[in-house]
A and B are shown apart, each in its own frame.
Chain A
Amino acid sequence: MAGYHSVKDILTICSDEKLPIWKVIMEEDCIERQVVQSESFAGMRAMYTAMKQADKSYDSRLRSASGLAGGDGEKLHIYNMSDKKLCSDFTSLAMEKAVKMGESNACMRRIVAAPTAGSCGVIPAVFIAYEESFNVPEDRIVEAMFITAGIGAVIAENASIAGASGGCQAEIGSASAMAAAGLAYLAGGDNDCIVNAMAMALKNMLGLACDPVCGLVEVPCIKRNSAGAVNAIASAQMALAGIRSAIDPDEVIDTMRRIGNAMPAGLKETSEGGLAQTPSALKIKEKLEEI
C-alpha cells in the first residue's frame, strides 16, 4: 500500500515536498512497485492508450448476449451531430463516449476497468472528450490519470469500489469522483479545487444502489456511465468556479462507506431488489431464461 491513506495525506505530502498531486501519486507507485518514474508514467500512458483504442473500436452493430445492450451510443452520436443538442460539444461528446464504452463492455470488447468494468465508461469519456475538444498534449491527460488513480486508491482503502460491498455509489460514484478530480486539474484547478471537485462529485452520487437487471452489467449500468461523466463535469466546473464542499473530502469518502454498510443486501449487486425486481425486469428475466 502507498504511503498515503487519505486525501489529507496526499495534500500534506504535496505541501511538504512541494510537488503536484500527480507526481506524489507517481512517486508512491515507484516506491511500491520498485520501478523508476519513466516506467510508472509509461504504465499509466498504456492504460490511457488502451482506453482510446477501446473508444475507437466501438461497433454500433454489436449486441450483448442478452440482447439488451448495444446501439445507443450511435443514437447519441447522431443526435450530437445535429444542431438540436442541449449540452456543449465537450459534454455531449463525454456522454456519448461513456455510453459507447459501457456498451462495448457489455458486448465482450476490450476495455480498461476504471475502477471497475461496470463503470469503465466514465473516466475515458471525460478525458478523451477533453483531449479531443480542448486539444491538450497527451502527457497532461496521463498526469490527470495519476490523480484519478490516487483518489481511487484512497476511496478503495477507506470505503469501497465494488458494487457488491458498497452499491453503485462505490462504482459509478467513485469513477465520477475520480474523473472530476482529474478534470479539475486539466482545467487548471489548484490542489484545493481538485479535491473539492472530487468531494462534490462523490456527494452527488451517495446512496446510489447497485440493482442490475438479471445480474448483468447492462441495465442500468451503461446509461449510468453517462450520468457519472456529466456529474464529473458539473462538479469540476463548480469547483473551478470557486464553490467548495461544505463536507471535508475524507469525510465524504467515509460517508460513502457508512451508507454502503447500511444498504440492504438486495441493493448490492444481488439483483434481489431495486430495478431488478420491477415487473419490466422480471419480464426480461423470463425471456432470457428461454434463451
Chain B
Amino acid sequence: MNIFDIIGPVMVGPSSSHTAGAVRIGYISRKLMGEPVSKAQINLYGSFLATGKGHGTRKALVAGLLGMNTDDMRIPDSFEIAKEQGMEVHFGEARLKDAHPNTAQLILTGQSGRQLEVIGQSIGGARINIAQIDGIDTNFSGDYPTLVVHNLDQPGHVAEVTSMLSHKGVNIATMQLYRSNRGGEAVMVLECDQEIPEDGIRWLEKVEGVKKVTYLSIE
C-alpha cells in the first residue's frame, strides 16, 4: 500500500468501508453513466443492508450518484440535494447469491434515458471493486481510466479496440474479457494509464458489432 492509502483518504465518516466505499461506488457509477442520473433503484446486500443506516451508507451512495466524492461535506444532506436536483431514489434489498458482504446493486436511468446496472463491492479502506456491469461480471477498481465495451462475441473486436488505443497513445494497464456464451454477448474491460480521447470513444460506438461503450474518466 502507498503511504497515502495509510494516511488518508480525507473522508466523511464514520466508516471507510460503509461510508467512503459507498460514496465511491455511487461516484464511479455516476462517472460510468456519463450523464446525470434521473432515477436510481439502490438495492443493498449483507452488511450494507444490516448496518448501513448507522453508517450513513444510503446517504453515501446517493451522494456519490450526485457526483460527490468521499470528502464532500454535503454527504449527510444528499437525500435533500437529490430531491432538489430531481433525482428519484428508491431503496430495496439485493437478492444476490454469495456476494461480498458490502455490496450494492445500482439500477440507473440517465437524463437521456440511458440505462446502466452496476454491482459494486466495498472491499475495505474506501477501496471498491466494480463486480458487474449490465449483468456481466467485471473486476476493476475505478482508480484508472477504464473502458468497458459490450460487443458481439465475434473475431476482431479486441483488435479494433486495442489498435484504436495504440493509435491514441494510450497504454493498457489491465485487460479482461468475458462473454455470456460462444457467439453471444461479450464484454471487455480495459484499465488504462492515460485518458482515452473523446473521439476514440465516439468512433468505437459506431463500430459494427459494438453494442455499448461505457467509459470511466478519472479527470
> Which positions 200-219 of chain A face chain B at CB distance < 8 Å?
214-218
* Proximity bits, A31-46, B CB within 8 Å = 1, else 0: 0110000000001100
> Which positions 93-132 of chain B face chain A at CB distance < 8 Å?
124-126
**Complexed CA–CA distance, A108 and B19 (Å):** 9
**Complexed CA–CA distance, A120 and B7 (Å):** 9
- The 8 Å CB contact of A146, one of B3, B9, B73, is B3
Chain A residues in 8 Å Cβ range of B15:
117-118, 217
Say how far B158's CB is from chain A's closest CB, in angstroms: 29
- Tell me, yes or no, whether A164 is within 8 Å of chain B by CB: yes
Chain B residues in 8 Å Cβ range of A113:
7-9, 11, 16, 20, 125-126
- Tell me, yes or no, whether A112 is within 8 Å of chain B by CB: yes
| Total interface residues in chain B, CB < 8 Å | 34
- Tell me, yes or no, whether A111 is within 8 Å of chain B by CB: yes
- Tell me, yes or no, whether A237 is within 8 Å of chain B by CB: no
- Tell me, yes or no, whether B160 is within 8 Å of chain A by CB: no
Chain A residues in 8 Å Cβ range of B56:
65, 108
- Tell me, yes or no, whether B12 is within 8 Å of chain A by CB: yes
Q: Total A-B pairs in contact (CB under 8 Å)?
A: 131
Chain B residues in 8 Å Cβ range of A115:
6-7, 125
- The 8 Å CB contact of B7, one of A33, A114, A214, A271, is A114
Assess whether A214 is in contact with B54, with CB atoms less than 8 Å apart: yes
Identify the interface centre among A29, A117, A156, A217: most chain B CB within 10 Å of its CB.
Answer: A117
Q: Interface segment, B33-41, B45-53, B180-188, B209-217?
A: B45-53
Say how far A7's CB is from chain B's closest CB, in angstroms: 15
| Total interface residues in chain A, CB < 8 Å | 51
> In chain B, what residue has the closest Cβ to A155?
B6
**Complexed CA–CA distance, A153 and B10 (Å):** 17
Assess whether A153 is in contact with B6, with CB atoms less than 8 Å apart: yes
Identify the interface centre among B8, B17, B47, B59: most chain A CB within 10 Å of its CB.
Answer: B8
- Tell me, yes or no, whether B76 is within 8 Å of chain A by CB: yes
* Proximity bits, B1-32, A CB within 8 Å = 1, else 0: 11111111111111111011000000000000
> In chain B, what residue has the closest Cβ to A289?
B53
**Complexed CA–CA distance, A2 and B6 (Å):** 13
Say how far B100's CB is from chain A's closest CB, in angstroms: 12
Q: Knowing A64-B14, A164-B124 are in contact, say whether A110-B9 is a contact too (CB < 8 A).
A: no
Say how far B60's CB is from chain A's closest CB, in angstroms: 9
- Tell me, yes or no, whether A281 is within 8 Å of chain B by CB: no
> In chain A, what residue has the closest Cβ to B3?
A149
> In chain B, what residue has the closest Cβ to A69?
B14
Assess whether A218 is in contact with B11, with CB atoms less than 8 Å apart: no
Assess whether B6 is in contact with A156, with CB atoms less than 8 Å apart: yes
**Complexed CA–CA distance, A271 and B101 (Å):** 14
- Tell me, yes or no, whether B71 is within 8 Å of chain A by CB: yes
Chain A residues in 8 Å Cβ range of B61:
none
Chain A residues in 8 Å Cβ range of B14:
64, 105-108, 117-118, 216-218
- Tell me, yes or no, whether A1 is within 8 Å of chain B by CB: yes
Assess whether B19 is in contact with A25, with CB atoms less than 8 Å apart: no
Assess whether A149 is in contact with B12, with CB atoms less than 8 Å apart: no
Say how far B55's CB is from chain A's closest CB, in angstroms: 7
- Tell me, yes or no, whether B75 is within 8 Å of chain A by CB: yes
Assess whether B13 is in contact with A112, with CB atoms less than 8 Å apart: no
Chain A residues in 8 Å Cβ range of B51:
214-216, 271
- The 8 Å CB contact of A117, one of B2, B5, B13, is B13
Chain A residues in 8 Å Cβ range of B126:
113
* Proximity bits, A1-16, B CB within 8 Å = 1, else 0: 1100000000000000
Assess whether B16 is in contact with A117, with CB atoms less than 8 Å apart: yes
> Which positions 117-148 of chain A face chain B at CB distance < 8 Å?
117-118, 120, 123, 145-146, 148
3 smallest A-B Cβ distances: which pairs?
A105-B13, A215-B51, A149-B3
By a beta-carbon cutoff of 8 Å, the part of chain B in contact with chain A is: 1-17, 19-20, 47, 50-51, 53-56, 59, 71, 73, 75-76, 124-126
By a beta-carbon cutoff of 8 Å, the part of chain A in contact with chain B is: 1-2, 25, 29, 32-33, 43-44, 47, 50, 64-66, 104-118, 120, 123, 145-146, 148-150, 152-153, 156-157, 161-162, 164, 178, 214-218, 271, 288, 291
Beyond A145-B7, A288-B54, list 20 extra A-B contacts (CB 8 Å): A29-B3, A64-B14, A65-B54, A104-B13, A105-B13, A108-B59, A108-B75, A111-B10, A112-B8, A112-B10, A116-B16, A123-B7, A146-B3, A148-B7, A156-B5, A162-B125, A164-B17, A217-B13, A217-B15, A291-B53
